[in-house]
Structure 1
Amino acid sequence: MSPTATAENTVLASIRQHTASENPSAFLAMSQGISAFTAPGLDGVIAYRRAGRYLVQLGGPFAAPHDYLPLLDRFVAHAHEQDLKVVGAQLQRADAEVYAEHGFTVNQFGSSWVVHLPEFTLHGTRFMRMRNKISRARRAGLQVKEASARELTDAIRHIDEAWLRSKGEEARPLEFLVGQIGGPAQEHRRLFVGTIDSQPVGYISYSPVYGTRAGWMHDLSRRIPDGTPGLMEAINAHVIEVLRGEGSHWLHFGFTPFTGLAQENELPGHSAAFQWLMHFLWAEGAAFYPAQTQLAYKEKWAPEASIPEYVAFDGREAASLSAFAHIFRACNAF
């Protein structure tokens, strides 16, 4: 399906209506550069991006229950007709079980994290360090407000460029499994920016989440690397109060690969070699992806128990390093 207004409406309707898998990252399917697969007579979409000889799928099919498997079958056939393979990323447990029964090799890939806002508080000794950091940011003059991305185009570009330079010469901005700012879907996102002396110094973008844990996902976040502590914590703490005042119940912190890994999360038929690789990348893969740093930030907010997410490889014994690498190729990591 081409990226037309009709396609965008179809994707949005599907991720809003078909929430059986409870995928908090479903709205990422609305990002520019992601294709949407549909089939005549079937109610649903599959979001994907091609990378080499693979179609890398975001989540499972966002489809009506009776059309879920037929849509998946059509998508796999569509790939095979082009001599391509399917690899699915960020599958939820319900998706993972279906894929495993349907001939895929399925392994845990990482976990996502969520906070129940009505019960959340920054009081108590657990949050003492965070409160101190937030206070330092506010004493430095930090002000937080919700803003229009269109009004802040130049400021966002400046922050993004400074943030990327701080990551090193070879750093590339990630895509696909992370959100974006701009494009037709921007009207559904929310952007909060922090300023000091009227100059933007950091921002966090939040995307909508549908399903029984409906709310918002703390998505794309970047800051000027000037050493001022507590900027992002102060922005997110402000947003939590805004969302709670609006009656929102859930704030999702999104998916982090290689985190929350546990033997009990694995499904029958998983690849032991791939399971070892995920644990290795958690322990030793900081240069590949800073999973431990990402998790440390999320754990500051005392999230609920981790929610396992999965990767599915097209065929038995198909969990190869090459197939896995194409997920990160689709993400623009290399």
Structure 2
Amino acid sequence: MTETLTTSDIALDAIRRYPGADNPSSFLAVNEGNSHLHLPDTPGVIVYRPAGRYLVQFGGPFAPEEARPRLLRAFLDLAAEQDREIVVIQLQGADAAEYLEEGFTVNQIGASYALRLDTFSLRGTAFMQLRNKIARALRSGMEISEAPLSAWHTAMGDLDAEWLGAKGGARPLEFLVGQCGGPHQHLRRLFVGAHGDRLTGYISYSPVYGSRPGWMHDLSRRRPDCPPGVMEAINKAAIETFQAEGAEWLHFGYTPFSGLSARFEFPGHSRAFQWCMKELWTNGGHIYPAQTQYAYKEKWKQDVVLPEYIAFQHGASIPALVHVFRACNAV
């Protein structure tokens, strides 16, 4: 009997074989709702979502180096056939050359962060406040465990609704954040904190391939009324599990508008867009809570900061950026 592969299966194989310039968020390629461009005679995929008159691409081509130009050309042809423009989000620095050669404008839009697990410890004065927050959460009676999604799926849905309600009915984000469920859920890890049978918070971790293999701290939620330190305590428990298993890295994922630096920009970048990103970092908390998200990640004293990029097919533009948010269900 021949097994029929879905495009999600093909994407999973591609991110395992060809991690896409070491994109730490590559597992997002298998999210439900994504579209995948793949050619029958060419290995690899391009991952994207249509949004209005744009095709919003996630990362660069997940493909061997020799196949990447052909995939990109096929994607450009697809966009032209649909009379759409391409905007690429979470492009890695090693991907940029091919897009610059095709006339794209490439700008830094944020950064992702990674922690080396084999040397990480919470000992020392630098982590005193973090240790105190974790201890406070544990003193509240919270118990932490790794669990299958099936054990907490209903409670997680209720918590998600409560969490979004506390944010004024915000939309659940998609595309650039992980999901719980779907055909590849068995590859993720779920750690939960609970008070008795009441779910207090959870963190889902997705696998990371490439030169910094390990896990990515992905989708996370907590009750609005939970004690301080809940998420930190859950993450500490996960770190200890990963360390015991010999995992090398914990990635904290992409934070828009953070880690911006002129030294990370490429020739031909838009200075106006660069200025706009700095303004969003300083004054754009009502659009996206980048500083709050970064503050949580900074507590863990990351070892590596990786710049992340956006690439515009026809010059940097705010409408293209808005359609990235639209693809993420943020607007």
Equivalent residue letter for 1:259:
S
8 Å CA contact retained: 1:42, 1:67: yes
Q: Deviations over 1:102-125 (max 9, x none)?
A: 210000010000000011110111
Q: Deviations over 1:253-301 (max 9, x none)?
A: 0000000000010000101111111001000000000000000000000
Structure 2 partner of 1:291: 290
Structure 1 partner of 2:223: 224
Equivalent residue letter for 1:324:
L
8 Å CA contact retained: 2:115, 2:304: no
Structure 1 residue 9: Cα displacement: 1.6
1:70 lines up with 2:67 in the alignment: no
- Show structure 1 runs of 4+ deviating over 6 A: none
Equivalent residue letter for 2:49:
R
* Gap regions ≥5 residues in structure 2: none
TM-score by length of 2: 0.97
Structure 1 partner of 2:129: 129
CA distance in 2, matches of 1:167, 1:149: 24
8 Å CA contact retained: 2:15, 2:209: yes
Structure 1 partner of 2:329: 332
When residues 256 and 61 of structure 1 are mapped into structure 2, their CA distance, relative to the original with a 3 A threshold, is same
Structure 1 residue 154: Cα displacement: 1.0
Equivalent residue letter for 1:271:
S
8 Å CA contact retained: 1:29, 1:47: yes
Q: Deviations over 1:129-157 (max 9, x none)?
A: 11111111111111111111122121101
Equivalent residue letter for 1:205:
S
Structure 2 partner of 1:300: 299
Structure 2 partner of 1:94: 94
Instruction: Give the count of matched residue pairs.
Output: 328
* Gap regions ≥5 residues in structure 1: none
When residues 158 and 178 of structure 1 are mapped into structure 2, their CA distance, relative to the original with a 3 A threshold, is same
CA distance in 2, matches of 1:32, 1:259: 27
8 Å CA contact retained: 1:11, 1:29: yes
Residue identity (%) = 55
8 Å CA contact retained: 1:97, 1:267: no
CA distance in 2, matches of 1:311, 1:5: 31
Worse overlay, 93-102 or 321-330: 93-102
> Where in structure 2 are the equivalents of 1:174-323 lying within 5 Å?
174-315=173-314, 318-323=315-320
TM-score by length of 1: 0.96
Structure 1 residue 74: Cα displacement: 0.3
Worse overlay, 13-22 or 294-303: 13-22
CA distance in 2, matches of 1:179, 1:62: 18
Structure 1 partner of 2:116: 116
CA distance in 1, matches of 2:27, 2:293: 20
